[in-house]
Copies of this chain bind each other. A is one copy, B any other.
Amino acid sequence: MPTVYVTRKAHFNAAHRLHNPEKSDEWNRTTFGPCNNPNWHGHNYELTVTVGGKPNPDTGYVIDLAELKHIIEENVIRHLDHKNLNLDVPFLRGVLPSTENLVIAIWDRLAEALPAGKLYRIRLHETQRNSAEYFGPDK
């Protein structure tokens, strides 16, 4: 069987703030503008997870998408949905929650939960116009 890529989308709604605590408030305000609001702002995030592999001849599945949905839910969504990304999420402790840093952190969670080598791409839309994609550590 040849390699096929399957994709599952999920959503979460979260608050965050772009702020680097090692820099001055002035630097943060200038660098991040309204995204630095100390009272937070938030987004409806759309997460797209792509897994690659050879379809199982018995099922026609690269991975059961119901199982992938469950893995995304348990490892990512229930930790992020209706949360504050700066304060409430153990696996984001110390991470500045830019979309770039979020896709790396989500990749690391899912790569561990999925069979080795299966995870192909994480895409995260912060808004309809802004998004980030990550294909794993550079080789």
Q: B7, A83: Cβ atoms under 8 Å?
A: no
CB-CB < 8 A to A81: which residues of B? 34, 41
Q: Tell me if B100 and A60 are in contact (CB < 8 A).
A: yes
Interface string of A4-38 (1 = CB under 8 A from B): 11111111011110101011000000011111010
Question: For the complex, is A137 an interface residue (Cβ under 8 Å from B)?
Answer: yes
A13 pairs with B131, CB closer than 8 A: no
Among residues of B, the one whose C-beta sits closest to the C-beta of A88 is B39
**Residues of A within 8 Å of B, CB-based: how many?**
66
Q: Which of A43, A60, A66, A99 has the most CB of B within 10 A?
A: A60
Q: How far is the CB of A127 from chain B (nearest CB, A)?
A: 6
Cβ contact within 8 Å between B11 and A127 = yes
Q: How many Å from the CB of A94 to the closest CB on chain B?
A: 12
Which residues on the B side are within 8 Å of A134 (C-beta)?
A: 2, 4-5
When C-beta atoms are compared, the residue in chain B nearest to A131 turns out to be B7
A71 CB to closest chain B CB, in angstroms?
A: 14
